[in-house]
Each structure stands twice: as structure tokens, then as C-alpha cells.
Amino acid sequence: MSKTPKLNAGEPEEVLYQIGDGIATITLNCPDRMNTISRRMLNRISECLVAANRDSEVRVVVLTATGRAFCAGLDLRRDENGGSQGILDPNKAPATSIDLRDAPPTVLHGMNKPTICGLNGSAAGYGFDLALGCDIRVIADSAKLSAAFTKRGLVPESGGTWILPRLLGWAKAAELIFTGRTLNAEESLDLGLVSKIVPAKELEDAVLTLAREIAANAPLAVQASKRMMRMGLEETFPDHVHHVYLQLLPLMQTEDVKEGMRSFMEKREPEFKGR
């Protein structure tokens, strides 16, 4: 089991991490700057995601934020003193100062644990891509999603150009990316970018209710299902069916499968142990 990521002495808690009821909650905690992400926050988010994915006690990961915004993008102020302010390295050109290999969207894509984004407020730019990296998104009725990259002379650098065509189809993704349009909650739901809209004050309860519903299922089966879905994006149907069969064989030997069958026959809720 992975230990909870620790902060260095004196560091402000820009990213909160807690575990309860099999749910790891990662919370962006810089409401004064609309949770724009500093270089240190990038590392911290990735550390928390990796820890949650490795922790046998964690069955679901929730990503959310404090304040009125989920994330307004990267904090593009230059980091002159090696502190938390700013994503840009003053000693490097902007184009070479960000390493995306271990950045949160890349880590999110490789995770086996199911992930839910609780959009407490608006997500723009990098925050939009970060939300898209989660498996499921629940949005507050007051929140908006903004793919404003082209309005800033940029491209969706952290997964948007890969995810959106698969999620929306080419034409809708092209329209959204090329225009840099901002969508309200209803428009986001209509397009299929989010699964549910809830009143802002009910967001936390709605996300936790969904997380607990997922966490109640057999965790190995949930994680295997996610792996198969991810592989299926790049495979032919015959190849995919073969890989699903190979994934099914070890699952059939688990205690959770036996518990699932017993609970069904005994007409009771199953108690899965993840083994």
C-alpha cells in the first residue's frame, strides 16, 4: 500500500489529499488564484495520482477543487525564485520549460483506478484538459468549460486534441477547439462532456454518492474494465475480444467472483475484498 504523499516542511497545501471509504480525494486548493496550477502543484498532483493508483485501499479517485473555479489553467507567471509561483522557468524558453511526460493528464490516462472529476466551478485551458482526463465528470450548474487555447495562440497541450475527437466525434471536436468556445453546464451536458449537472451546493454529495456506488463493486473487475476500454480505443474488434478473454481468465479465479456469485444466489449485497 502506498503512503499518503507528504509535503516538504513549510510548503502550503496547494493540493489536498485524503482517503476515506475507499475513495481518494485530490483537491486543488488555491482559490485565491482560481486554482491556476504552479510547477509545484503539477508535481504534487502527479504524486497524489500515482499514490492513489498504487494504494490497495483506494477503489475510486476524485479530483475536485476549492473556491469558485475548478482550474483556470496554468499559472504562467515566471518562477523567479524557485518557489511555487509560476509554471515558467526563467532560465528556459516557454516552449521548453514544461515537461509533459509525467504531468497529471499523462498520469491520469495511464491509471487503472476509476477517476471522477467534480467540477465545482469553471475549467479553462489546462484545467479543461485535466477534467477531460478523468473517466467521469460531474458539473455544478454554475460552472463552465472553456477550450480557449486557440484564443491564446495555443493548442490543447495536455490531451484535449486526443480525447475530444474520440469523445465528441471529429466535427464537434473541431468546432469546439477551432472556436475556443466557452460552454455552460447545459451545453456541456448536451455535448456529452459531462455526465450530470447538479446544484453547486450538492456537488460534493453527488460526486461521493457516485464514487461509493463504483467503490462497492469488485475493484479488480472495475480496473480490468477500464484497461480494456482504454485498449479498445486502438484495437480491432477481433483483437480486443481476444484481450478481454485473456483478462477474464485470471478474474475468474478471484475471491471476488465467488463472492459475487454467492451474494447473487443469497439475494444480498456483495462484500468485495479486491482479491
Least confident of 45-54, 83-92, 117-126, 213-222: 83-92
Whole-number Å distance between alpha carbons of 27 and 15:
6
DSSP conformation class of 78: B
Question: At 185, phi and psi to the nearest 5?
Answer: -60, -45
- Hey, what amino acid is at 3? K
Nearest Cα residue to 73 out of 108, 42, 52, 99: 42
Contact status, residue 160 vs residue 147, Cβ threshold 8 Å: yes
In this prediction, residue 84 carries a pLDDT of 47
Residue 267 has pLDDT above 50, yes or no: yes
The topology (CATH level 3) of 15-215 is 2-enoyl-CoA Hydratase; Chain A, domain 1 (3.90.226)
**pLDDT bracket for residue 85 (50, 70, 90):** low
Residues composing the chain? 275
pTM for the whole thing?
0.87
Locate the domains of the chain by residue range: 15-215, 219-265
Domain 219-265, CATH among 3.30.70, 1.10.760, 1.10.8, 1.10.12? 1.10.12
